[in-house]
Amino acid sequence: MNGRRWNGGGWNIAGLVLVGVIGLGATIGLPMWLELASLLDITVYLILAILALSLALVWGYGGILCFGQSAFFGLGAYAYAIAMFNIGESTIPFILSIVLPAVFAALLGYFMFYGRISDVYLGVITLTVTLILFNSVNSTAGPEYHIGEARLGGFNGIPSIPPLNWPGFSGSPLDLNDLFYVSIVLLLAVYFGLRWLLVSRFGRVMVAIRENEKRAGFLGYDARLYKLATFTLGGALAGLAGCLFANWGAFVSPTIFGLGQSAQIIIWVIVGGRGTLIGPVVGCIAIQWLTAWLGTAQFTKASLAHVVGPGIADALSSVLGFADLSNTNLVLGAILLAFVLLVPKGVVPTLLDLARAVVNRRRPADDLVSDKAEGTT
């Protein structure tokens, strides 16, 4: 576009440099400053941020409300675990963990997009699919449920999953420090890769289809094909995150397909800002950090009683039905509600709007151009 700004996701050089510098700084600095336990916490945030980016692409730019992104995340984790127990060397399991969810997404997407399923039903179908996977995998507890050497384990999941190794060297597995490096490098690669995609012809058309599918069709673009490609890529990225997640905990269980996990991904995107890439990453890391903090903060009814008095604390806990007011789901629900009502565009787009408002105030009135469209970060 002659170097001009592209609203659907342009090369915002300042933003790219900022992300690059922060990414490089974190890659070098965090292992130096943090203990292994803290580094492990950060690693899972990075892995989940890749998952957040997959929905940022599918929903934020593709306009496809996928309630079941966790299906591909879980498939990636299970594919890696099962393949690892059978193969032993991680190159093929790693590839399978990306390819299998992508193929599954392509098949599901084919029936949804070519079957002209409307947006609302698309959300319902994707949610149903992940819940079916949850229930199916949950019922595989007996020893008869195995794929090759890998026992599926039902609701107990698959423990002691062998870690990734350097490609071709099964005798040199990645340690936890290595996993941090792999995760941050892959997160940055996914982020910059998606930024490139968004300024490519494909990305621009994808955003145009999100804006007006009918008009795109009148111009000769097959919206179904673009949506299918976007959905498949989203499935592949979620699968990659699933593989890393299975490595991080050396464990995978059916809860990975659960409603809670699905809802959480959507909350990350809503809080961070739909139509941006950095927003869902920020939303994911912030919410995960908050969830972890709530889990350790001991914010119980007793501590609340010290602040508001025992009567109000009693009333609150009985009205809400929770003995422990640190209930994470309650807090996440409240955050979601607050954002939908008060900051509907999400944190990053709202901050960008504020920054633009300040800049525009300094410009002469005739220079004002609309900068409201999202998607430059």
Partner 1 sequence: MTEAAVLLETIDLGMRFGGVEAVSGVNFRLTEGELRCLIGPNGAGKSTFFKLLTGQLLPTSGKVLYRGRDISGAETHEVARRGIGIKTQVPSVFDGLSARENIWIAASRGRPTRRANEMVDEILSRIAMTGVADRQVGQLAHGQRQWLELGIVLAAEPELILLDEPAAGMTHEEVVRTAELIREINRTRSLIVVEHDMQFIRMIASKVTVLDRGRVLVEDSMENILRHPTVRDVYLGKRVAA
Contact pick of 117, 205, 330, 331 for partner 1 (by CB under 8 A) = 205
Q: Which is nearer to partner 1, 254 or 374 (CB)?
A: 374
Residue 218 as a binder of partner 1 (CB under 8 A): the answer is yes
Contact region for partner 1 (CB under 8 A) — 126-134, 181-189, 216-224, 279-287? 216-224
Residue 198 as a binder of partner 1 (CB under 8 A): the answer is no
DSSP 8-state secondary structure symbol assigned to residue 165: B
For residue 245, the one-letter residue type is: F
Residue 220 as a binder of partner 1 (CB under 8 A): the answer is yes
Contact pick of 119, 211, 314, 324 for partner 1 (by CB under 8 A) = 211
Contact pick of 212, 298, 318, 329 for partner 1 (by CB under 8 A) = 212
Residue 6 as a binder of partner 1 (CB under 8 A): the answer is yes
Q: Which is nearer to partner 1, 45 or 61 (CB)?
A: 61
Contact pick of 79, 182, 223, 332 for partner 1 (by CB under 8 A) = 223
CA distance 210 to 341: 23
Contact region for partner 1 (CB under 8 A) — 183-191, 203-211, 236-244, 318-326? 203-211
CA atoms within 13 A on the CB side of 213: 15
H-only helix segments in the chain: 13-33, 36-55, 69-87, 91-114, 119-138, 176-199, 201-211, 213-218, 223-249, 259-272, 278-296, 301-308, 310-320, 328-342, 347-362
Q: Which is nearer to partner 1, 215 or 250 (CB)?
A: 215
Query: Nearest distance from residue 199's CB to partner 1, in Å?
Result: 11
CA distance 47 to 293: 18
Q: Which is nearer to partner 1, 10 or 239 (CB)?
A: 10
CA distance 204 to 196: 11
- Token digits for 363? 């410009």
How many positions of this chain bind partner 1 (CB under 8 A)? 30
Report the DSSP beta bridge partners of residue 301.
none
Q: What are phi and psi of 84, to 5 degrees?
A: -65, -45
Query: Nearest distance from residue 216's CB to partner 1, in Å?
Result: 7
Query: Nearest distance from residue 205's CB to partner 1, in Å?
Result: 6
Cβ neighbors of 96 (< 8 A, separation 6 or more) are 79, 80, 83
Q: What are phi and psi of 168, to 5 degrees?
A: 90, -10
Q: Tally Cβ neighbours within 10 Å of residue 25.
A: 10
Q: Which is nearer to partner 1, 171 or 220 (CB)?
A: 220
Residue 1 as a binder of partner 1 (CB under 8 A): the answer is yes
- Residue pair 9/376 in contact by the 8 Å Cβ criterion: yes
Query: Nearest distance from residue 353's CB to partner 1, in Å?
Result: 13
Q: Which is nearer to partner 1, 5 or 17 (CB)?
A: 5
Query: Nearest distance from residue 59's CB to partner 1, in Å?
Result: 15
Q: Which of these, 59, 369, 99, lies nearest to 237 by C-alpha position?
A: 99
Phi-psi region of 375 (alpha: psi -120 to 50; beta: other; left: phi over 0): left
The four Cα atoms 62, 331, 180, 184 give a dihedral, to 10 degrees, of: 30
Q: Which residue reads 């597995």 in tokens? A: 173
Query: Nearest distance from residue 150's CB to partner 1, in Å?
Result: 44
Spell out where the chain has E strands: 146-147, 150-151
- Token digits for 242? 């699933």
Contact pick of 16, 141, 208, 336 for partner 1 (by CB under 8 A) = 208
Q: Tell me how far the alpha carbon of residue 184 is from its chain's centroid.
A: 14
Q: Which of these, 60, 17, 50, lies nearest to 373 by C-alpha position?
A: 60
Contact region for partner 1 (CB under 8 A) — 24-32, 142-150, 214-222, 283-291? 214-222
Contact region for partner 1 (CB under 8 A) — 51-59, 218-226, 236-244, 266-274? 218-226
Contact region for partner 1 (CB under 8 A) — 176-184, 205-213, 306-314, 318-326? 205-213
Longest dimension (CA), the chain: 74
Interface pattern 342-371 for partner 1 (x via CB under 8 A): ---------------------------xx-
Residue ranges that bind partner 1, judged by CB under 8 A = 1-2, 4-8, 201, 204-205, 207-208, 210-212, 214-223, 369-370, 372-374
